[in-house]
Structure 1
Amino acid sequence: MAVITLTSVSGSPGVSTAALALGVHWPRPVVVIEADTNAVTSAMPGFFRSNLLPELGGIDKVQLAYSRGVLTREDLLDPERFLAIAVHELPPIKSAPIPAIPPGHKLWVVPGFFHLGIADGVSGLWVRLPELLRSLSEAGIDVIIDLGRLGRDDVRMPLIDTSDQVLICANATMVDLNRVYRRLEGPDLTQRVGVSVGSAEKFFLLLNEVPAEQIPAVDFANNTLPVLAMLPFDPQGAATFSVGRPDPKPNRNTYRQKIRSVIAGLGTIIGYSDLDRSAS
């Protein structure tokens, strides 16, 4: 199993969009968990285009299930428990279709909070989730976690610790370079990166191209962390995953194409040969 966590250190520059895009194109069964405690769910009104009711799944319901006893992977994926939404089992919706996934692909999504007022009440969830993630591995199911912005001494650090790879999303600007550099000075991340600036085995940057004042990726790599990839500035292509924009010509979607190469790169790092092929 692979546990891939996406986060940012300032704002949330495309974290949720990239996480959902990775989930759509992931070549193995995968669960995408929206675990952002700084913003309400973007997946439900965006990726799912407000087609689904909040009762169908969510991270708050996962916490409630934990409070009532041990939560197993079978519970998480059981459609009758309404914890994770099985995208591959959703019926076609003509009026506002959900982004299509490749034929035969199994994708579950656990939406984030619908009300931020309860986010503090689930702080105990984050130390319990790693056990569930390990259980998913036994079933050959990978996990992609969307943390949104990572705060200092964040209570969700157990998810960082259990991840195989952590992708820090940032815009390719001097402003974000400085923010990433200074955030890595924090003791909570310094002790986890555990190596000199400019190299890491677990932490990588996922940069976004910007329309103005862009700086080279090598500047980030030399001063902060290795850069896994630079996502193209393609607002319409990215909108397929962020707001469910129709994508009648996916082969011309440069954002989608780059996501496939990111998956291949992760496969090389993790050592998963079946991630080295492009998803459909």
Structure 2
Amino acid sequence: MAVVLFASAGGAPGVTTAVVGLASEWNRPVLIVEADTASTSQILPGALRGQVPHITGLTELTVADYYGRLDEGAVWDQAVQLGENAHVVPGFTSLRAARSIDPRFWRTLVDALRVVEARGIDVFIDAGRITVDDERIDMLREAESVTLVVEATLPGVAALHPHVQRSDAGSAQVGWLRESMEQIGHGEWMDLLVVDHPVIGAAYPASQIAQILGLHLVGSLPSDPRGAAQFTFHAEPGRRRTRYARALQTVRTAYDETFAQRAPREEVPA
């Protein structure tokens, strides 16, 4: 089983849509955690169409943490069902709550999520946009995959590059994220998911972007608004599988192959 953290460095490449889509195509149970500190829940009004009130989630988990009760049970108390195979812990109920927590909260939360993962449930963390020396660094370093989602355009690549810059890229400066991951021997555990751009001539090949950034490519998602809407807004998928859904299946297979090559962590006894 695995903890996968999804994040972007700029723009709006569709991180949450990709997370929800992958969860729907995953071949194991998934728990999604909306850990974005710059936005409240996107899944409740989107994929769940506003049918579930925002009364559970990370804000309540910060209260549990304050009283020393943030554990696996507390996490499940805040989860709502997203689909047949997936649950979600919604994000913060307010941006002020997201910005005022103790950074130690993220360490405690990821420890609880590791227990969930060890029980046979993969954990997807939707971190939204990362920032320099991100206070959620413990979550990034704990993940079996830090998947960086980038739009296949020059501005998208340029926004991500300073975070993952290599010392051999014409500069002695190493990106803060790459440096932090390399400190624990997980420099190769940063993956790349490329989202195509709809404007002809604006997009770059995914393989070229991965080479420039020095990241392992798990796949790319097409510019398919109708297909993506199935996961963003719970739109009807139609009779035929969309290009977006077919691409998600390919990416899922790439993750299976990737995790098979990475050393497993110790399991938590049942």
Q: Same fold by TM (over 0.5)?
A: yes
Q: Indicate the SS of the match to 1:86.
A: strand
Q: Which amino acid aligns with 1:42?
A: Q
Residue in structure 2 matched with residue 228 of structure 1 by the alignment: 218
Structure 2 equivalent of residue 153 of structure 1: 133
Deviations 1:195-234 (CA, angstroms, capped at 9, x unpaired): 9xxx952111101111221112232122112322110110
Instruction: Give matches, 1:24-63, under 5 Å.
Output: 24-55=24-55, 57-63=56-62
The whole-number CA distance in structure 2 between the counterparts of 1:129 and 1:75 is 10
Deviates more, 1:120-129 or 1:205-214: 120-129
User: What does 1:106-255 correspond to in 2, within 5 Å?
Assistant: 106-123=85-102, 124-185=104-165, 187-194=175-182, 201-212=188-199, 213-224=202-213, 225-249=215-239, 251-255=240-244
Corresponding letter in the other structure for 1:235: P
Counterpart of 2:73?
74
TM-score, normalised relative to structure 1: 0.82
- Match of 1:194, as an amino acid? E
Structure 2's unaligned 5+ residue stretches are 166-173, 262-270
Q: Which contiguous aligned blocks of 4+ residues in structure 1 show a shift greater than 4 angstroms? A: none
**Would you say the 8 A contact 2:75–2:89 is kept in 1?**
no
- Determine the C-alpha separation between the residues in 2 that align with 1:200 and 1:188: 11
Shift of the 138–221 alpha-carbon distance from structure 1 to 2, 3 Å rule, reads closer
Shift of residue 32, structure 1, vs aligned partner = 0.3
Match runs of 1:2-41 below 5 Å = 2-41=2-41
Q: Secondary structure at the match of 1:145?
A: strand
Q: Shift in Å at residue 158 of structure 1?
A: 0.8
- Match for residue 90 of structure 1? none
Contact 1:40 1:115 in 2 (8 A): yes
Query: Are residues 1:84 and 2:79 paired?
Result: yes
Secondary structure class of the residue paired with 1:130: helix
Which residue identity does 2:81 align to in structure 1? A
Q: Residue 44 of structure 2: SS of its match in structure 1? A: helix
The Cα shift of 1:28 comes to 1.1
User: By how many angstroms is 1:168 displaced?
Assistant: 0.5
Root mean square deviation of aligned Cα = 2.0
Q: How many residues align?
A: 247
- The code of the aligned residue for 1:84 comes to A
Return the alpha-carbon distance in structure 2 between the equivalents of residues 179 and 54 of structure 1: 32
TM-score (normalised: structure 2): 0.85
Name the SS of the counterpart of 1:168 in structure 2. strand
- Write the distance in 2 (CA, Å) between the matches of 1:52 and 1:181: 38
Q: CA deviation at 1:246?
A: 1.8
Partners of 1:218 and 1:3 lie apart in 2 by 24
| Matched letter for residue 50 of structure 2 | S
Contact 1:60 1:122 in 2 (8 A): no
Structure 1 residues 80-131: Cα deviation after superposition (integer angstroms, max 9, x where no partner):
x4x01023xxxxxxxxxxxxx4xxx431101112310111222332121121
Rate the CA distance shift 1:15–1:172 in 2: closer, same or farther, 3 A: same
Aligned-partner Cα distance in 2 for 1:66–1:106: 27
Structure 1, gaps ≥5 residues long: 88-100, 273-280
Deviation per residue, 1:220-271 (Å, 9 max, x gap):
122112322110110111111112212232x421111111111111001101
One-letter amino acid of the counterpart of residue 182, structure 2:
G
